[in-house]
Structure 1
Amino acid sequence: MTANLLAHAAHLFCCGIACSGAYNRTLTPFGFQNKYRKLWDATATYVERSPFMSANKIRKPVLLIHGEEDCDQGTLTMQSDPFFNTLKGHGALSPSDSSL
């Protein structure tokens, strides 16, 4: 939610803290949010719900927090590193880079 809000409603926030995010929904192709729609049946939904696909719009500082055991809650830790690298590649700030 935090990452999507920073991508689509950044004017409402000065920064964000994203915890245990599933930033790229295409990595969970057989359903999410208790829905069993498949990536191939609802491609637009998967793309729209993936902050990863809108990372180029995120310019506000964001702190990503993800723990080793978050997989038990349905989010995969493998999503945080690529999302972080994508944000940095697009010039997003980390909280330590900003002058909040």
Structure 2
Amino acid sequence: MLTTDIPPNQTIYVKNLNDKVKKEELKRSLYALFSQYGRILDVVALKTVKLREQAWIVFGDVTAASNAVRQMQNFPFYDKPMVSLETLI
């Protein structure tokens, strides 16, 4: 399924993150990076085996999340190209 097939949502799913970065630093950096697109309500990043290299950024509105997805696709973040996809929660 292509990103364009997914209905817009205020939460975006980001993967291919550098798993060498500590969780709190990762959350702060994601917050700082994505806040340029709008108000962020939460950043969820876990370091479990199944969830490492992934995060969810919850925006205050759908427009901000959609803009962030378009602009941040393959953005180099801690030496890895970040892949961002809108998600449904």
**TM-score, normalization by structure 1:** 0.25
The structure with the larger Rg is 1
Larger strand proportion, structure 1 or 2?
2
* Structure possessing the higher relative contact order (Cα contacts under 8 Å, 6 or more residues apart): 2
As a proportion of its length, which structure holds more helix? 1
